[in-house]
Structure 1
Amino acid sequence: MLAACLGTVLTSAALAGIDEPVQFTLDAPRLSSALIQLSQQSGLAMVFSDRQIRDLPAVPVVGTRSTAEALDTILAGSEMTWEIVDERVIAVYPLDCSAAEEGCAGAAELVADYPIYAPGLEETWVYGATVTGSRIRRTGYTGGAPVDILSSPDIELSGAQSLGELLKFVPAVSGNATSTAISNGGDGTATVTLRGLPASNTLVLVNGRRVANDGLAGDSVDLNSIAPAAVERIEILKDGASAIYGSDAIAGVVNVITKRDFHGFLAETFYGEASEGDLDTVTHTLQYGTGLPEGSFFITASYYDQGPLYSRDRDISANADTRLIGGTDERSSATPNARVILPDGSTVIASGTGYRTATDEDLYNFREETSAVVPMTRSSIYTNISYDFSERVTGYAEASYMDTDAKSTLAPTPVFTAFEQSPLPVAADNTYNSFGVELDDVRRRLVELPARRQRNQSEVQRFSAVLEGLFADWNWDVGYNWSRSEAQETTYNIINADHLRRAIGPADGCLGLLIDGCVPVNLTGPASSIDEEQLDYISATGEVSGYFMMSSASLNISGGLPGLPAGRTDIAAGVEIRDEATSKRPSPLLAGAGTIGASNFEATRGDRRATELYAESVVPLWRNASGLSHIALEAAVRFSDYDDFGDTTNPKLALRWQAGPDLLLRANYAEGFRAPSLNELYEGATESQDFLEDPCTQSANVGLLPGCSQQADPTRNQFLTVKGGNDELNPETSYSYSAGAVWTPRAIPGLALSADYFRIDQEDVVSSSAQFIVNQNAFYGRLNDLVTRDDMGNLTMVEATNLNIGERRVTGADFALTYHYPQQAYGQFSVVGSASWIQEYLARLDSTAPSLDLAGTFRDEASEGLGGIPEWKAQLGLRWKRERWQGSWQLHYVGSMEELLPGTSQTRTIDSWLVHDLQLNYTFDVLDGLRLTLGIDNLLDEAPPLAASAFNDNIDGRTHELKGRFWYTRLSQRF
């Protein structure tokens, strides 16, 4: 098959000559792709046989070179050469055709066999492609804002088997991203959080188009619903982009680009496990792609199976009591032996056939049962097809299906009779109450039941079709996009609160299963005092199901207007109409607040339509005589009309100054918005046991703070919180600024450095903070109608609905380094690195509250925090290629952070963390296309640092990893 790539001229100037200097960025790993990049960036036509060079590697080229020099560089060591034919086509062919495979052709033969390239016939023009952050088609473009690109080789070298795992160590990612490493409080999904802002502030696209959020009325896209096997590359725009893409792009955009140009058949299998013998992971992948007479076809299917990792199997996570290693005691006061607070305030605990006084060590280590990494299976299929209806009109369609199944394990259900939404007192005459008085506060861990099991299942379907073409030098496309995510969550071995209330109530109201259908329960006894009949009566299963559906239709046009002295003005415009709908339906038991051990909530249902118009332009302002220095202005504006809250208009401006062949300067300003999610608008009342800090548990605050008249129980750290939606919410708004430089010195060929400063100001942040309400009530005596305490001063319930009350400001800088060392006899070395620095992260929950600088701090999401936001996060990779060998050494660094010790005003330091990953690949010559990969993550088995305030496993599982050393192997065969 012949692969031809013809360059384009985007100005009125003629094609650049073979010896004229051009700013190149040729970073494709395979020679065929690198030649396509070279053609696009040089504007010169090129022809080559894909069959002859398909599997050959390319030498990267970054910097200012002539096209001839760039060709010589990328062909080095490939046994290929090039030649100009008919003064208009560059032909690439083997050095010695007589020794090559059958069908080998030299330069003249190559062009002669395909007369479309003969002089005088119609010439094909390639107008480039869209890049993330712009709707304008371009070639060889460096934009006004930084974009990180994780190419297919980057994905392979990472060894990651899910997108969540892949993006975890990207320096710009910090905060409360979810993943399968979050078991308690997780749901098997994975999200990405740029700049430490919530996942709802980062827009996730697939091929530049929106897709449905998580099926349980989610606020963001589940990355686990995108199969890595279908991914060609991931582009991360680290800048506000509401003017280009609309809502949600406040922190940036993650655009997942799927594979299209794939020829042949690939079979691949992956196996890995932790050095402790757990977390066994298997992936099987099949791919097939081929050219059609007037198009192409590609299909891939994969199966993924990740085994569990339990908290008890790592030293740092095995115990909730971390005092011996510098932490605190976070064990639970709901113990297997009933813990009873008597009316006189004394506390006793069941022991044998009687009771004894409870001590500070009578607490339960729930980590003995919990899973740390959720076991998960995933099956997927993805396909796309393209068809050329004519020389100017092409159709493209893609479809995918993903099925996931995740199962997490939680400690047996705890019962706090005094702190449920409806109290559960043990009646004075209850069959098992030996105290003879009503007991309001009994705490019991029901270890007679198996550990709670949470199963999350989802099915995600996507389809899109695009018709695109060229009309009078204007590109146009019309597209339809549809996606639907369905999810179900089932929680086993929880408690039916209504049955338990009756079972521990007055004796005459619960006489026996055969008499009145009720079984009395011995809640005040020691462990194992609840028999099977009692368990059968009070145990329950909770279920919730839901979906998120999105469909859209769009029309886009782009083209150029010549005439300006500095070159052609590129413009783009378009319209999109988008429908969204979601529903979350709990089982009657959950909807009626009738369970203990799972979240009780009312149903959520909502839908809306958005109509959006946008326009974008790139205006060249100045260009010098050589064309190597120029200034361009980028401008965009988007009008969005939502039928549930109104309309908004968001502009964007960027200035690019190519100050000579070595230096690019860029600056950017953008206004952004985030429409409140359907869940934030329409969520029903939801119960949860949140980790909060009650100031009234500290004796020093009693009588001093207006809201603390008596001391509350200091052994409690979870409190009943009721949250809900608010259909009066307004969109969050933002203002983004950035300025930076890209340096590619000619004196050091192959080197590229960049630095960009950024600032994001965010207002009207949607907040539902129970901690804020508790603090306001305790410190200032406010919001008494939202805080409920019992007669002993214990916090029993907090009500917190969504409000537009928050503000944030994030400032910092991004740095990037790429250096491709000149080709040597011992191979090609490359160094690739990036870093992110958070200078300041100011956040406040309300205009009356003080701003807190969260840069370099950790506050767990379970305590309503924004997670870990290290000041510094970086990665650095050394890569090597030589003939059939390829290797990499990757370093991941996370800076230290400060955390507040629970229940105190003291802080401690979470240590910095450095991890080494190694990988080695070899392509065999026995079977052409057979490739073996060996890899080790966390080579030195560096344990994650202690985070004493972390709810999950005593570490910040969203930033660090618990698995330790992990080895893997991958075997692939391509035909």
Structure 2
Amino acid sequence: MSTASAPVPVCFPGSLAFARSALLAACLALGLSQTALASTPEAVHFVVNAPRLSSALIQLSKQSGLSIVFSDRVTRDLPARELVGHFTPAAALDQLLAGTGLAWELIDNKVIAVYAAGCGDACPDARELLDRYPVYVPGLEETYVYGNRVTGSRIRRATYTGGAPVDVLAGPEIELSGAQSLGELLKFVPAVSGNATSTAISNGGDGTATVTLRGLPANNTLVLINGRRVASDGLAGDAVDLNSIPPAAVERIEILKDSASAIYGSDAIAGVVNVIMKRDFHGFLAETYYGETERGDLQTTTQTLQYGTGLPEGSLFLSASLYQQDPIFSRDRDVSRNADTRAEGGADQRSSATPDARISLPDGRTVIATADGYRPATDEDLFNYQAFTTAVVPFERTSLYGSASYDFAQWLTGEIELSYTETDAEAVLAPTPVFTAFEQDPLLVAADNIYNDFEVDLADVRRRLVEFPERRQRNESEVARMAAALQGLWADWSWDFGYNWSRSEATEASSAIVNADHLRRAIGPAAGCQGPPLDDCVPVNLLGPAGTLEPAQADYIMATGQVSGYSELYSAGFSMSRAVDGLPAGRADVAFGFEHRRESTRKRPGPLLASTSTIGATNFDATRGKRTVAEFFLESVVPLWKSADGLAKLDLEAALRYSDYSDFGTTTNPKVALRYSPGPALLLRANYAGGFRAPSLNELYEGVTENQAFLLDPCTQPANVGVLPGCTALGDPSRNQFLTLEGGNPQLQPETSESYSVGLVLTPARLQGLALSADFFRIEQQDVVSSSAQYIVDQNARFGSFEDRVERDAMGNLVLVRASNLNIGERRVSGADFGLDWRFAENRFGQFTLNGSTSWIAEYLAQQDASAPREDLAGSFRDEASEGLGGIPEWKAQLGLRWNRERWRGSYQVHYVDSMRERVPDSDRWRNIKAWMVHDVQLNYTFDVLDGLRLSLGVDNLFDEAAPLATSAFNDNIDGRTHELKGRFWYTRLSQRF
């Protein structure tokens, strides 16, 4: 973890006049320390093994902690020699550059410049040097270092610590984590909590993966790829599917934990996750990965091929990978095999739709079908659906990625990126349940139906159709992306123009569900269903025990529901930036630009789902929407004060963004930050930012959606009947799913926020290599979009309100809830982030690095509307299936120890999640979900027999710590978004690089 920006991939030094001409010359700067000097006499153990000199210099920079700047034009075609052993940084550079015609020089006491040797004092003027020595010329009076844009800024920086904290997951950390998907990688980041989705969410998931910072919904975190927006999930989603990004092609991930609407626009209320893809790669890599749990399931494989090379005037990188993951079934883990957790202090959440028909008779009796007739129903006549479900969904991802750059001239560079990803996930769900009384159009077993022995109309029949094949939900997606950019110089300005397109297409097919129209006819009056010879209708026995549904009956009522959709984004933008010299406290920087964006989405159900004619899948109307966005931004960094010795300084950062949306109007969002350094060892920072989130196209234009939502009905508790105004009769306590109608609202306005943070970064001189950080934050969010059916039910029961939105039958049972999107909610989240990064001095045992991060949520106040009380969700869990925001632990932390020695490299990581409280379903009892700690370890070795061959062995959850019980969780009795069900997991990875 780091509170500073990642090592920057592009850097441009030179004199002021020279910098104006060479700003976009291809070069690379990797900086981990602003104070380390090349002249340090301390020897470091280096393992530098790369086919090209540019890659070798990158490795040297990472291992030494020094900033090294060089031109890709100079090093592009030069091979590299292997460097293994103890050297001073100066000696290591001399070894690498021997025989190349290149030399190095220390500039500004903190940056090493590599340049073409032989110039010295006899150098020609800078214009001639531009062609011969494109990045650095020794002997010039001033040197400026320009970097690339770091996450959270439009201004190019190098080795920069900004006004807000940024966590960086660099390539080595990603590799040492063993994660094979970004959702898995980000799950344990301390700042991540709440309702992130992944393939660990089966019932209610769709095969996608999202990230949620600070416990805010996924649509409050902006996900970028190389600093650019991409299309959301194809089924009218409002968040980017992380499963569409292959980790093998990722260079690093930067997580900005602060509102950034002034920099990036909408959706960045909680922060930004910027995925930086690989570019500097030389040679050919073939890699294979295999892993499985100790119990023999969740077999996971990844095959990767990558190729990169330098071209005479550019570079090329290609990557292809295939990822496959087998399932875990709920029945194969102790904690998840049964929905009845009363023995562990929980609740019985088994379903009242049983394989043997459960029938409520008009005289008030409830009976269960048996082979010999019927018997009275008991409280134990319930169905354990978790004996059938997948806990982790089988998943396959095929990914292609390519990038190229070309230098048209010294002042003009072009870049292009192309990617394509296919994903396929298939969840297994319990057999379809039928609740005849609680469909949008109720079903009635007619008195004269040939299978009705009671000879009266039966309104409430519950039956689990175990005669059907497994109910399966298959989600497939195709995601394509293209980004192109031109970067150049004009007078004192650097400029860039970019065009970006992405499209996500997705389909969902639900098989072995029920055609409700056919079932209505099949259980209706005998005259309306006389058999195929007469009217193509097959009478269905819904009243018998398991096994009595004949194949012909099952075929008649069984159906498959389908839905397809897409999300598409086009954007074009132009920006300019420059340095402003002559200020008393130093150089200022300014950037401005504009962006035009077009977004569109469509979700189209098949005929059955569109006509609300299925049971066992979501029925809904089509969704279609589009918008255009025009935005202008301005950003500056201004030095306000600097001490005479230059060691103390005060800087101001300011940004402003104006956005014009075609569907709701305009908004302007500012950001102001102060950075004060009283000396090299301490940085103090404070930040204010205004934020907004435009309502998603789905929230605006979603058609009416029918859903069986998990709700807690206060009227099913006897103590509330006759006491609460809305509870006039006792509802059926055996039910926990209720028909809910939701929909969009074209009149929605943006969610808005104000964010504050204050923090420090401490790098004590007496403890070399140590960096400590602490940042306190507060987010206040207004006009939150909400469509809470649970809130409507609670308010109706407790106060008698929302009478037009809540329907109950004559027996007091909740029949229907109507909910639609409204701007009514508020949130206030406050807490702190703590960081540790300690690189110990090299010794005979090797190089050790300790890093850790902790997130503390002090309060999470949520309010449904102005009339409702505020509820503090910090340290609590409420499942998304019950309209909650998921698990929000007060404390979440991770601590890692990395080790390097010669050809060995190892990692030991500890992940900790604090305990959380939850309300036991169908009661007023609260219980604690236990704290959870897991240990991950990995060891790898680079062979010297076959140059470039590396073997990695790893174990996740080394001590097989079981996920803690969460009795209110819909999926598998655990919070699958916070904890993991898999247990101990072994894996190995073998890679060969040429």
Aligned residue number for residue 419 of structure 2: 400
Q: Is the 8 A contact 1:719 1:795 kept in 2?
A: yes
Amino acid aligned to 1:508: A
1:529 corresponds to 2:535: no
Q: Which of 208, 229, 238 in structure 1 is aligned with 2:227? A: 208
Secondary structure at the aligned position of 2:146 is classed as: coil
Is the contact made by 1:241 and 1:253 (CA closer than 8 Å) also made in structure 2? yes
Does residue 333 of structure 1 match 2:339?
no
Q: Quote the residue 1:82 is aligned against.
A: 90
Q: Does 1:7 align with 2:5?
A: no
Can you list the C-alpha shifts for 1:389-426, whole angstroms capped at 9, x where unaligned? 00010000000000001000000000000000000011
Indicate the residue corresponding to 1:219 in structure 2.
238
> Could you report, residue by residue, the CA deviation over 1:734-784 in whole angstroms, capped at 9, with x for unpaired residues?
000000000000100000000000000000000000001001110001111
> 1:789-800 counterparts in 2 under 5 A?
789-800=808-819
Which residue of structure 1 lines up, in the alignment, with residue 459 of structure 2?
Answer: 440
1:677 to 672, 676, 696: 696
Asked whether the equivalents of residues 11 and 158 of structure 2 are also in contact (C-alpha less than 8 Å), the reply is: no
Q: 1: CA distance between counterparts of 2:450 and 2:382?
A: 26
CA contact (8 A) 1:484 1:547 kept: yes
What is aligned with 1:33? 58
Say which SS state the counterpart of residue 829 (structure 2) adopts: strand
Secondary structure at the counterpart of residue 316 of structure 1: coil
**Residue 475 of structure 1 pairs with residue 494 of structure 2:** yes
The residue that corresponds to 2:712 in the other structure is 693
Give the corresponding residue for 2:305: 286
Q: 2:770 — aligned with what? A: 751
Within 5 Å, give how 1:251-650 maps onto structure 2: 251-650=270-669
**Once the two structures are aligned, what percentage of the paired residues are identical?**
67
Report the alpha carbon displacement of residue 106 of structure 1 after superposing the two structures with TM: 8.5
Is 1:230 equivalent to 2:233 in the alignment? no
CA drift at 1:475: 1.2
1:786 to 805, 830, 837: 805
SS where residue 607 of structure 1 aligns?
Answer: strand
Q: Spell out the pairing of 1:724-873 with structure 2 (5 A cutoff).
A: 724-873=743-892
Question: Aligned-pair distance for 1:111?
Answer: 8.6
Q: What is the letter of the counterpart of residue 7 of structure 1?
A: P
**Preserved contact between residue 522 and residue 538 of structure 2 (Cα < 8 Å):** yes
Rate the CA distance shift 1:484–1:160 in 2: closer, same or farther, 3 A: same
Contiguous gaps of at least 5 residues in structure 1: 14-20, 58-76, 84-90, 98-102
Per-residue CA deviations over 1:324-358 (Å, capped at 9, x if unaligned) read: 12211100000000000111221110011300001
**Are the aligned partners of 2:12 and 2:146 in contact in 1 as well (CA < 8 Å)?**
no
**CA distance in structure 2 between the partners assigned to 1:112 and 1:449 by the alignment:** 72
Given that 2:513 and 2:616 are in contact with CA atoms closer than 8 Å, whether structure 1 keeps it comes out as yes
Secondary structure of the 1:244 match is helix
Matches within 5 A, 1:862-941: 862-941=881-960
What letter is aligned with 2:949? L
- What is the SS of the residue equivalent to 2:581? strand
Partner of 1:119: 123
Q: What is the CA RMSD across the aligned residues, in angstroms?
A: 2.5
Asked if the contact 2:97–2:103 (Cα under 8 Å) also holds between the matched residues in 1, the reply is no
Determine the C-alpha separation between the residues in 1 that align with 2:670 and 2:819. Answer: 34
Tell me how far apart the structure 1 counterparts of residues 953 and 204 of structure 2 sit (CA, whole Å).
Answer: 34
Counterpart Cα distance in 2 of 1:177 and 1:358: 39
> What CA deviation, in whole Å up to 9, does each residue of 1:514-560 have, x standing for no partner?
21111110001100111001001000000000000000000011111
- What CA distance in whole angstroms lies between the structure 2 residues aligned with 1:701 and 1:428? 35
Q: Check the 8 A contact 2:12/2:147 in 1, yes or no.
A: no
1:93 alignment partner in structure 2: 94
Amino acid in the other structure paired with 2:90? W
User: The residue matched to 1:332 in structure 2 has which SS?
Assistant: coil
| 8 Å CA contact retained: 2:503, 2:567 | yes
Q: Which residue of 1 aligns with 2:35?
A: 23
The question of whether the paired residues in 1 share the 8 Å contact of 2:101 and 2:116 is answered with: no
Q: How far 1:140 moved relative to its partner?
A: 1.1
Q: Report the CA distance shift for 1:349/1:45 in structure 2 as closer, same or farther (over 3 A).
A: closer
The residue type paired with residue 92 of structure 1 is: L
SS at match of 1:560: strand
Runs of 5+ consecutive residues of structure 2 not aligned to the other structure = 1-8, 20-32, 39-43, 49-55, 106-112, 136-144
Counterpart contact for 2:34–2:159, Cα < 8 Å? no
The one-letter code sitting in structure 1 at the alignment partner of 2:405 is S
Q: TM-score, normalised by structure 1?
A: 0.93
Residues 163 and 675 of structure 2 are in contact (CA less than 8 Å); yes or no, is this contact kept in structure 1?
yes
Cα deviation for residue 214 of structure 1 reads: 0.2
**Structure 2 SS opposite 1:324:** helix
Amino acid at match of 1:260: R
The answer to which of 42-51 and 451-460 deviates more is 42-51
Q: What code does the residue aligned with 1:82 have?
A: A
Q: Per-residue CA shift, 1:572-606, capped at 9, x if unaligned?
A: 00100000000000001000000000000000000
Partners of 2:444 and 2:104 lie apart in 1 by: 93
Deviation at 1:119, TM superposition (A): 3.2
Between the aligned partners of 1:522 and 1:4, the Cα distance in structure 2 is 71
Aligned residues: 936
Structure 1 counterpart SS, 2:90: strand
- When residues 29 and 554 of structure 1 are mapped into structure 2, their CA distance, relative to the original with a 3 A threshold, is farther
Aligned residues of 1:8 and 1:43 also touching (Cα < 8 A): no
- What is the rounded CA distance, in whole Å, between the counterparts of 1:383 and 1:596 in structure 2? 44
Shift of 1:116: 7.2
Correspondence for 1:100: none
Residues 1:342 and 1:466: Cα distance change in structure 2 (over 3 Å): same
Shift of 1:959: 0.1
Does the Cα contact within 8 Å between 1:48 and 1:92 map onto a contact in 2?
no
Residue pair 2:412, 2:489 contacting (<8 A) in 1 also: yes
Using a 3 Å threshold, how does the CA distance of structure 1 residues 55 and 745 change in structure 2: closer, same or farther? Answer: farther
Q: Which amino acid aligns with 1:663?
A: L
Distance across 2 between alignment mates of 1:115 and 1:334:
85
Tell me if the contact between 2:77 and 2:310 (Cα under 8 Å) persists in the aligned partners: no
In the alignment, the residues of structure 2 paired with residue 9 and residue 852 of structure 1 have an alpha-carbon distance, to the nearest angstrom, of 58
Cα–Cα, structure 1 residues 307 and 686, in superposed 2: closer, same or farther, change >3 Å?
A: same
Matched AA of 1:713? D
Q: Which amino acid aligns with 2:230?
A: V
1:178 counterpart (197, 210, 221): 197
- Aligned residues of 1:618 and 1:635 also touching (Cα < 8 A): yes
- For the 8 Å contact 2:64–2:89, the answer to whether it is kept is no
Alpha-carbon distance in 2 for matches of 1:825, 1:873 = 34
Please name the residue that 1:66 is paired with. Answer: none
Q: Deviations over 1:439-459 (max 9, x none)?
A: 110000000001210000000
Report deviation, 1:626. Answer: 2.0
Q: How does 1:238-253 map to 2 (within 5 A)?
A: 238-253=257-272
SS at match of 2:756: strand
1:147-162 equivalences in 2 (<5 Å): 147-162=166-181
Distance change >3 Å, CA 56–CA 627, structure 1 → 2:
farther
Cα 1:108–1:705 shift into 2, 3 Å: closer
Q: Distance in 2 between matches of 1:96 and 1:230?
A: 29
SS of equivalent residue, structure 2 residue 746: coil
Q: 1:649 to 1:534 in 2, by over 3 A?
A: same
Aligned counterpart, 1:68 = none
